[in-house]
Amino acid sequence: MPELEELKFHCNNCFGERKHTVLFTKSFRHDEREVESERIQFSEIDKYLLIECKGCESIGLIVDHWSSASGGDYIEQYPPKKIKKEPEWLFELMLSEMFLNPFKTDFLREIYTALRNNTPRLAVIGIRALLEQLMIENVGDNGSFVKNLNKFEEHGFLSKVQRAAAEPLIEAGHASTHRGFKAKTEEIVYLLNVIENLIESIYVNHEQAKKINVPPRKT
């Protein structure tokens, strides 16, 4: 049995560049020819690679596109490359709200999908919309985003430090909606960190704190 080829690709489970075994390859070529001379005007080749991570054994697909027009390769990976790991508490949050209103986990997963599929404007708009829904759930709808934000801070859900950290999130969401702003990947990761930390402090840590059984002080 011939030795299988090994190449390095991103692994979403191991979360990083890892060696992968190429299990299967197949290529398709398409040529466009002139009607009279049959001379090739344009060519493109798609090479498909079925790969297995040598660390976690997860399976993925790589599509290597080449065309004579570009003269170079364009690589696509399936499932799409994860830019940021989902927080460990996400599944726990989903279970706790499964029969209530699981909009937070739904929102976050849609944002992660937008980020993986290289749609940064949708990701940023989604993060801002999620923040607004968090505020409405906890302090009601007070008529405007700014009023909701002020009430959110007044009720202690948002500290002054957290509000300062959230300001870029708010501005980026507004700019993406109204001025076509396109955030960089590292900027979106920062905004995601802000909203995840906020959700964790309000919904996850609060519930976990209730489970801590601290013995009373002796009088």
Tens digits of residue pLDDT in 145-184: 889 989 999 998 888 888 888 888 888 887 888 788 888 8
pTM higher than 0.75: no
Is the separation of the CB atoms in 48 and 62 below 8 Å?
yes
Fill in the amino acid letter for 31.
Answer: D
* Residue 73 pLDDT exceeds 60: yes
* Residue 100 pLDDT exceeds 50: yes
Is the separation of the CB atoms in 166 and 131 below 8 Å?
yes
* Residue 21 pLDDT exceeds 90: yes
> How far, in Å, are 157, 174, 199 from residue 150 at the CA level?
10, 17, 17
- When pLDDT is averaged across residues 127-133 and rounded to a whole number, the result is 91
- When pLDDT is averaged across residues 20-31 and rounded to a whole number, the result is 90
The residue that leads in pLDDT, 82 or 52, is: 52
Q: For the chain, what are the domain ranges?
A: 6-78, 90-210
> In sequence order, which ranges of 73-159 are alpha helices (DSSP H)?
90-96, 103-116, 120-139, 145-154
Whole-number Å distance between alpha carbons of 10 and 109: 20
- When pLDDT is averaged across residues 70-86 and rounded to a whole number, the result is 81
Return the structure tokens found at 69.
């027009």
The residue that leads in pLDDT, 62 or 39, is: 62
* Residue 82 pLDDT exceeds 70: yes
* Residue 102 pLDDT exceeds 60: yes
